[in-house]
Amino acid sequence: MLSKPESPVFLQVIGNNYAKLAERFASAPYELTSTQLKAWIVFVATLDPDNDDGSNIYRLNAFDVADKLGIDKRKARGTIVADIFADLSTKGIRKKSAADSRGEKNVFAANFVSGVAYDRNTHILQLEIPQMMRPYLFALKEGAYLSLDSKDIVALDTVPAIRIYIYLKNLDRQGINEVSLEEFRQGIGATSSYYDTFKQFKAKIIKPAIKEIHKHTDYKDFYIEDNGRPGVKATRISFGFYASLSNDDLLQSMSPAKAAICKKFSAAVQVVMILALEHGFDPSYIDNKLDGVPDDCIIANFHYVMYEIIAKDKKRGKDKGKEVYGKYFLKAVAEHWAEQNGKFDEMLGREKTRKQNVEARKQVAQAQEQDEVANSALYYNQKAKEYLEKITKEPFGLSSFISKNETQLNAMAGKKEFNIQHALTGKKNYREYKILVNFITAKMTLKEIDIPSQGELF
């Protein structure tokens, strides 16, 4: 076991931090609120796994953490941050294996934090991390880790969206873009029996998470699809992370000098250059090295570096880093790596497929949005009928409801006044029944009448 240094490690929570998450954390079983999970990710993003000295005590400025989490500066934000981490001392990762013939199981339980101290004068927050939590923080040296921009995690709203983002990002890192539905549910912690019905799981978890990821990250064309269809039960999901490639917006985020270099090329070439930026490519490397080079040659070789070299290195846990990879792109074009390795047509095909996928995602999203509007109307209508049936069975429930809303019901009835006597019979063949259903539907849509909740994940 590693010895514990006597002096705590001071951490800097500044700038844009990337959290290096151990691969096993991506699908670990735990239950946290969104605030607790975000705070943990912000903490992890301050660690340096490559220079781990065996410490288990860390100090950081609580105000800096509060800034990352967007906590109101008018509040006691240092204390709020300390309380969040204090709550993490009661939460942890809990695992049990399958039972053997005698019912014995392997058991693992470790809390995220074992000790918290906060000094209101210095704003220093001290955290003690259990030794048993270390494999989820520092088991990274073989490349079995996922690097995520902490600002993406903090920007997401809900735990399901965060867990889906982390879990699928880890699979994507390994070149895996399809998984069984059961593995997916287990991997994101969606084990509640309420979501055994895929229709519920998709409507309440998958679709809202997709919308959040579209809204709060650069992956505007991120998708999750299933293999279900009419008469066939869904058993697998496929997914893809596609950044929104609005060239003008992305070029504006670059320095004017570098953006000017990229703008010399066609829109298609700009796309692959923008993709390559994430892997260390720097437009200033270009100089005049691409003068007269056909677009297809640039596109194919840039894709070759990203898919045949970088992606495969990362999958093997042999990431060479952006400083190395960034220089590969122009070298690949100059030496025609894609052509040399018989991958030229395949790499051009990847670009064509990417464009087709982006367009298909847009069409699917539009169709889903139309379906959701229709399904939402049917949902509220059904709930309104259930609500009406319930108050009809209650003593004086319906008459009291009509009395309170008589003016509005008359307004909905139009020229022919709302007939209270007909309404009180509860008969569905009277127009008053339809008016009541439409009235309650409107009230539910406006959230003036509550719809009973049916359970929540996490």
**Residue 218 DSSP label:** S
Does 155 score more than 60 pLDDT? yes
Contact between 130 and 114 under an 8 Å Cβ cutoff? The reply is: yes
Phi, psi of 287 (to 5 degrees): 50, -120
- The CB-side HSE value for 195 (13 A sphere, CA atoms) comes to 21
For 213-222, what is each residue's pLDDT tens digit? Answer: 988 887 877 8
Full set of structural domains in the chain with CATH: 1-142 (1.10.10.10), 156-244 (1.10.10.10), 247-342 (no CATH), 377-445 (no CATH)
R_g (Cα) of the chain, nearest Å: 28
- Print the SS3 string covering 402-430: HHHCHHHHHHHHCCCCCCHHHHHHCCCCC
Amino acid in the structure at residue 156: L
Mean pLDDT lowest for which of 87-96, 114-123, 308-317, 399-408?
A: 308-317
Crossing angle of helices 267-277 and 344-393, in 10° steps, is 80
Other CB atoms closer than 10 Å to residue 303's CB: what's the count? 24
For 169-225, what is each residue's pLDDT tens digit? Answer: 888 877 788 899 999 998 898 877 766 688 888 888 999 999 999 888 878 778 888
Percentages (nearest 5) of helix, strand, coil residues in the chain: 55, 10, 35
Contact between 85 and 114 under an 8 Å Cβ cutoff? The reply is: no
Amino acid in the structure at residue 384: A
Amino acid in the structure at residue 235: T
pTM more than 0.85: no
For 314-350, what is each residue's pLDDT tens digit? Answer: 777 778 888 889 899 999 999 999 999 998 888 887 7
